[in-house]
């Protein structure tokens, strides 16, 4: 997914109490589910970082005058957009809860 797709999701940004029993049904073990969500959050963070870097290169300037550094509105807006996205952990939790995460357990060969 792209950052714009994550922005469209209706994810609550505030912490909520969760029932941990709902997380062991998918993988059979609560701790495996935590590892799966953690690895997915790492993937999401890496994807968002790469997308931010690629997009920010479009707005990079070749000259480094002080006025241009403070007045580069495109970079400022891009940074604000990425700052307002849900955190990768929240995105991974959302994906796991909605069955959007594919994982393979090497112990069970499934």
Q: CA 3, CA 91: separation in Å to the nearest integer?
A: 11
* Predicted confidence (pLDDT) per residue in 76-95, tens digit: 888 888 888 999 999 999 99
Reading the block at residue 43, the tokens are 């993937």
Reading the block at residue 97, the tokens are 């809860």
**Angle between helical axes of 30-58 and 88-97 (0-180°, round to 10):** 130
What are the two backbone dihedrals, phi and then psi, of residue 5, each rounded to the nearest 5 degrees?
A: -70, -40
* Predicted confidence (pLDDT) per residue in 36-82, tens digit: 999 999 999 999 999 998 888 887 666 655 555 556 778 888 888 88
Residue 56 Cα distances to 2, 71, 98, angstroms:
15, 15, 31
Residue-range domain boundaries for the chain:
26-59+66-99
Residue 63 Cα distances to 15, 60, 72, 77, angstroms:
43, 9, 12, 20
pTM assigned to the model:
0.80
């Amino acid at each position: 997914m792209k950052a714009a797709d994550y922005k469209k999701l209706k994810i609550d940004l505030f912490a909520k109490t969760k029932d941990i029993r709902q997380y062991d049904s998918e993988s059979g073990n609560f701790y495996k589910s935590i590892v799966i969500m953690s690895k997915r959050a790492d993937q999401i963070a890496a994807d968002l970082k790469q997308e931010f870097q690629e997009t920010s290169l479009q707005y990079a300037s070749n000259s480094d005058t002080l006025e241009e550094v403070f007045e580069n509105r495109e970079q400022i807006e891009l940074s604000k957009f990425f700052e307002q996205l849900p955190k990768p952990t929240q995105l991974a939790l959302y994906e796991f809860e909605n069955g959007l995460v594919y994982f393979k357990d090497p112990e069970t060969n499934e």
